[in-house]
Amino acid sequence: MPRYTVHVRGEWLAVPCRDAQLTVGWLGREAVRRYIKNKPDNGGFASVDDVSFLVRRCKGLGLLDHEDPLEVALEDNEFVEVVIEGDAMSPDFIPSQPEGVYLYSKYREPEKYIALDGDSLTTEDLVNLGKGRYKIKLTPTAEKKVQKSREVIDSIVKEKTGILFSLLHISL
């Protein structure tokens, strides 16, 4: 049974194929289905049917036709990438684009900030940070805490260095 390794939004998925007559489009949908199934929030998608994607080879970066049978388009155990159209989560995908045609929107730096204060970060905030939806800004209180922690580390290092220097002096 052929097996393909598929990259979707930073995740590598093993996708076995019971029938080599299935198409590249099937492989893409199956990879997206597995990706959605493994994400607590379904990867932000309601269903596989809502996802428009392209498939390309990892080696050589060639775009693949959704209608091509897998046995013709790919070799067993080949690595491919599914790129979701318009998805900022796939910033490393740079296809050869026909002039004037853009297959996906390029990564955009988030415009919103999330303030880190050392006390109020939620799991949802952390997930959104991981998805690149926010920039990070420390509150003045958090900056003071960071500075205080730095001073503690510096004093420990200075103290340990002083002890080590004393021990070296004694042994000489």
Cite the beta strand spans of 17-64 per DSSP E: 53-57, 63-64
For the chain, the domain total comes to 2
State which residues form the domain around 67: 3-84
Please name the residues in contact with 67: beta carbons below 8 A apart, sequence gap of 6 or more. Answer: 23, 24, 25
d(CA 40, CA 18): 27
Q: Are residues 146 and 74 in the same domain?
A: no
- What CATH number should be reported for the domain holding residue 31? 3.10.20.90
The confidence score (pLDDT) of residue 163 equals: 73
Which residue has tokens 């392209």? 54
In this structure, the answer to whether residues 19 and 68 fall within a common structural domain is: yes
Q: Which pair of tokens denotes residue 66?
A: 């959704």
Determine the pLDDT at residue 27: 92
- 148 assigned to some structural domain: yes
35 lies in some domain: yes
pLDDT in tens, 37-71: 888 777 777 788 888 888 888 877 788 888 998 88
Tell me, yes or no, whether 25 and 77 share the same domain: yes
Domain presence at residue 94: no
Q: Is the pLDDT of residue 99 over 50?
A: no
Return the DSSP state at 82: E
> Around 1, how many Cα atoms within 13 Å sit in the side-chain half-sphere?
6
Q: What is the reported pLDDT for 103?
A: 41
In a domain, 48, yes or no: yes
pLDDT in tens, 10-29: 788 889 888 878 999 999 99
Same domain, 59 and 124: no
Supply the pLDDT for residue 30: 92
Residue 137 has pLDDT above 80, yes or no: yes
